[in-house]
Structure 1
């Protein structure tokens, strides 16, 4: 794993939010999925984690965004964690995986990954977290990979082009979106396995 991605460990991250502005809008859900090597040298989706997140004090929650993701941030039965707690739980697991694979740090994989990375970085800054295992500005984007591999940039269309099954009723949940994005990432990367191995001599 360390040799395949320049000592970076790819970890799929998806967030659901209260809007598009990482500085002002709430982080409401976060999910992370490990990418694991298999015995035959390909990659597959590994362990995953998903947490509901409490809006930070003063956070904006745009009704239009809440309508899309179906989240009620103030529902009394919603098992939400403070931002710092949710991030630290994921970061502990990611740091363990980074060490296990002999990598130097994690790199975020996402669909339109700049969005997820911006919200992750903003939450890290708000919480004063010093040990962020993710690279602060580099990421791997499945929208770009989908355009190269299939001529598609919309996640549902990439999933279908890759021969995977898309469940529209589960979309816009951080857990589902992260898992299906991980499957897309592995499917595309595995297509380049022979090219990569031939260049390694």
Structure 2
């Protein structure tokens, strides 16, 4: 399954108040493993950057002055997202801006049904705890030392690691018979059990290969006890 973990930076909290998107970054996962492919760009919002927003992400009017408008990046963005599941932290915020910008230049809205909100995942898994990206990185032991300011690319990369941990961790599927319980920050966490389906053609090729082997361990293991 192809998934895109993404983040945005904006001039404020709501496009209804005249605020605009200024940065997008998304990293690609396939079967919850980073592929190394990503999309990252800045856009000129066509309005001044409020000081309080610049203090958060460091994106100034001078930096954004020569960046293209969102309309010039919309086709690249929609091609990159394609039909992937899209994942964000506090997704309603990011989706509000993405859909506003897409509709503004004639593109259809992104379907909310394809969105996963890691904030909601974290609240269900760790009720009563802090659910900020920083807090989740600390909980899972994810290095966030490079995150000096908010930035869409570093935040989407960190969030990809958080998402993998929230949905079972990188060792998911290694225990194929029982759920593995671990102690984490004083809480017992039971990882979901996953298995890896083997294509029929691979099974057939393996059986053909082992059929010609003398004293095959696979043949002995396959015999009923």
| Bin for the TM-score computed over the shorter chain | 0.7 to 0.9
Q: Count the aligned residue pairs.
A: 173
1:50 paired with 2:28, answer no
Mean CA deviation greater in 110-119 or 149-158: 149-158
Using CA pairs below 8 Å that are at least 6 residues apart, which structure has the higher relative contact order?
A: 1
Greater Rg, structure 1 or structure 2? 2
Q: Identify unmatched segments of 5+ residues in structure 1.
A: 2-8, 38-42, 96-104
Residue in 2 aligned with 1:99? Answer: none
TM-score between both structures, scaled by the size of structure 2? 0.67
With over 3 angstroms needed to count, the CA separation of the structure-2 counterparts of 1:51 and 1:190, relative to structure 1, is same
Taking the aligned partners of 2:154 and 2:74, their CA distance within structure 1 comes to 18
Taking the aligned partners of 1:75 and 1:129, their CA distance within structure 2 comes to 27
- Please list the CA deviations of residues 12-48 of structure 1 after superposition, one character each: whole Å capped at 9, or x if unmatched: 12110000012310211011111112xxxxx222311
Bigger strand share:
1
Q: Secondary structure at the match of 2:42?
A: strand
- Please list the CA deviations of residues 92-130 of structure 1 after superposition, one character each: whole Å capped at 9, or x if unmatched: 1222xxxxxxxxx23321111111111000001111114
Superposed CA RMSD: 2.5
The residue correspondences of 1:172-183 to structure 2 (distance < 5 A) are 172-183=150-161
Alpha-carbon contact 1:171-1:177 (below 8 Å) kept: no
